Chains A and B, each alone.
Chain A
Amino acid sequence: KAGVTQTPRYLIKTRGQQVTLSCSPISGHRSVSWYQQTPGQGLQFLFEYFSETQRNKGNFPGRFSGRQFSNSRSEMNVSTLELGDSALYLCASSPSTGWNTEAFFGQGTRLTVV
């Protein structure tokens, strides 16, 4: 069974640009969550989608958005990039939504903003 796939693995963007990251969950998983990981802030929750609906949202500005498609694949978009958006963005999928559900993580997309 294929794991969680995130594309691209590495990305370099310029300040002010926008970026779209993609996440393909494990087959059959309907919940997808996104996290931002930085050395200073650690792992921070961005948002969670389940059956194409955003269920939870972390404390991030509106420049960060996401969506989920009917096949459970998810994308996150960051507009008007800032230097501080440089981070490893991790996607995690779960079979369903619920507080005891294990999350399976992808390898992440490392975004560098210059």
Chain B
Amino acid sequence: AQSVTQLGSHVSVSEGALVLLRCNYSSSVPPYLFWYVQYPNQGLQLLLKYTTGATLVKGINGFEAEFKKSETSFHLTKPSAHMSDAAEYFCAVSDHNNDMRFGAGTRLTVKP
């Protein structure tokens, strides 16, 4: 069965600094990978997804992620953090059973 590991339950960056949220996956078949963001008392919103094709995926709000099969990773990055980026971020993997598995989440704090 597929699974996802997010390294670091809390990440803190200064406004304007690089954001790097780490995600490693395990899947016996080529995976489909997703990053979701959750603001307080809200549901999850899709940031970006990788299905096939280009390994560098661009999403909303300036985020992007790169699928690296050799490293089984799908890390999320943003060149310059904004205060509004403070939220919880979830990496997810899905396979042909359409059973989407989520990581434990990483809470991003942005300091002024």
Binding site for B on A (CB under 8 A): 4, 31, 33, 35, 42-43, 45, 48, 55-56, 58, 90, 92, 97-108
Q: How far is the CA of A56 from the CA of B99 in the complex (A)?
A: 7
Main secondary structure of the interface of B (DSSP, over half): loop
Segment at the interface with A among B18-26, B37-45, B67-75, B77-85: B37-45
Binding site for A on B (CB under 8 A): 32, 34, 36, 41-46, 49, 51, 90, 94-105
Q: How far is the CB of B2 from chain A (nearest CB, A)?
A: 10
Q: A42-B103, A43-B105, A107-B41 are in contact. Are A102 and B98 (CB under 8 A)?
A: no
What residues of A have a CB within 8 angstroms of the CB of B46 in the complex? 102-104
User: Of residues A33, A43, A99, A100, which shows the largest number of chain B Cβ atoms within 10 Å of its Cβ?
Assistant: A99
Q: How far is the CB of B54 from chain A (nearest CB, A)?
A: 14
Name 9 interchain pairs, CB-CB below 8 A, sorted by A.
A43-B90, A43-B102, A43-B105, A90-B43, A99-B96, A102-B49, A105-B45, A107-B41, A107-B43
